[in-house]
Amino acid sequence: MSVTPAASAYARLLDRIRAKQAGIGVIGLGYVGLPLAVEFARQGFRVTGFDVDEQKTRQINACRSYIPDVAPHDLEAVVASGALRATADMARLAEMDVVDIAVPTPLRKTRDPDLSYVVRAVEACAAALRPGQLIVLESTTYPGTTEEVVRPMLEAGGLRADVDFFLAFSPERVDPGNRQFTTRNIPKIVGGSGPASTEAAVALYEAAVERVVAVSSTRVAEMVKLLENTFRAVNIGLVNEIALMCHKMDINVWEVIEAARTKPFGFMPFYPGPGIGGHCIPIDPHYLSWKARQNGFECRFIELAGHINASMPAYVVERVAEALNTARRSINGSRIHVFGVAYKRDVGDVRESPALDVLDLLAKRGAVLSYSDPFVPELPHGGGVLRSIDPAAALAAAPDCSVICTDHSAFDYAAIVAAGGLVVDTRNALGAFRAPSIFRL
């Protein structure tokens, strides 16, 4: 039987991937794309990073890492060897055997999915598409995006998915700041538009990731990521509600959780806080509930958890008011210092950070604000800019109240307590300390 050109192109693609001769392009050089590009380069591939932000491409080519999870020496090694280059020239996508799309998928103001970044990336891929290429979408999105949005755009030029070119979805699972689980050892979910696409994507990731898990379709792979993050959002919502309940009952919720986690089965600890933040957990449940509504299903449980999580910054502000009331002060006119504005410990990402909502609510009530965050040197706020100040200097200024929004490991918590001022601790960072001036969630 003669070999069709499409079959020949497919065999060539697999051979080049397995021999690590395939040229890999990564569109989007942020928290997901840059670590992925570096890992492919470390494993011996020739990688080109694509980003519309030329400042990022210049920094990469100059061996300067702007992502904490990418060590400068790792970036320098792959750039110096020629394994990784960055560019803003999307026309060079035509040179790639594989294109991996890792661009943001935020929400619109209406809380509906915003696929504009994905659409622009796919438009660039479509303009350069040639037979034998593998296109993989990693951006978190609703089930059906790959087949309903990406595939028609790529097929508009006449090439057929899973025949002439290959298409898959593989959800990113990045956890910024996590030193134990990285791009290399986090299992990779892969679902293709057909068997050939799945096989090609599995071969690609097996060359760089320790474990690859193939699923039956792109829709299953898309749903996997939404389940993972909705699971976290719902459980955080549950424990936040338990925290509100425990406050009413004068019970220490942190002690309750620590005791409950001693059960060796049937319980997984989650912890309350000032809200949820980051590029996934606050966003992904909205993608899921939006798609469910398109199919006539109402996600009441998921949306309730979202309402609870969204209410936590207001609750933190009420705790600040309660703390100040013990000193016969109001929020209006009080000097309030916030420790940590990033969305999680030891990262510099402020996307969807609940600390931003806390700052806004305090400002609306007339507070005089300042903050410390070793990872966020400045912060747009109220039409101006707040700049991080040294924590020791902040404590020396004796603020009327301090609020721990993000429990960075660099903060000296003993010094915060020793300063003797009012403290609202939203993360139990002062768990070992007991003082009438400490107010917990």
Q: Give catalytic residue positions.
A: 280
No. of helices (H) and no. of strands (E), the chain: 15, 15
Helix axes 195-206, 5-18, angle to 10 degrees: 20
3-state secondary structure of 24: strand
> Per-residue DSSP letters for 159-192?
--BTTTBEEEE------TT-SSS-TTTS-EEEEE
Q: Are 369 and 362 in contact (CB under 8 A)?
A: yes
CB 190 within 8 A of CB 165: no
Q: Which residue has the tokens 């034998």?
A: 132
Question: Which of 374, 375, 411, 379 has the alpha carbon at shortest distance from 395?
Answer: 411
CB neighbours of 52 closer than 8 A, spacing ≥ 6? 88, 120
The SS3 call for residue 425 is strand
CA–CA dist 217, 192 (Å, integer): 5
Radius of gyration of the chain, Cα coordinates, nearest whole angstrom? 24
Q: Which candidate, 334, 349, 364, places its Cα nearest to that of 424?
A: 334
At residue 112, φ and ψ (nearest 5 deg) are -95, 160
Q: For 82-160, list the strands marked E by DSSP.
A: 84-87, 98-101, 134-137
157's tokens = 């030029």
Are 39 and 173 contacting, i.e. CB atoms less than 8 angstroms apart?
no
CA distance 88 to 249: 57
- In Å, what is the CA distance from 111 to each residue of 114, 245, 282, 283? 9, 28, 11, 9
Q: Is 262 helix (H, G, I), strand (E, B) or coil?
A: coil
Tokens of 220: 């299953």
The one-character DSSP state at 235 is H
Q: Which element (helix H / strand E) includes 259?
A: helix 253-260
Cβ pair 149, 115 in contact under 8 A: yes
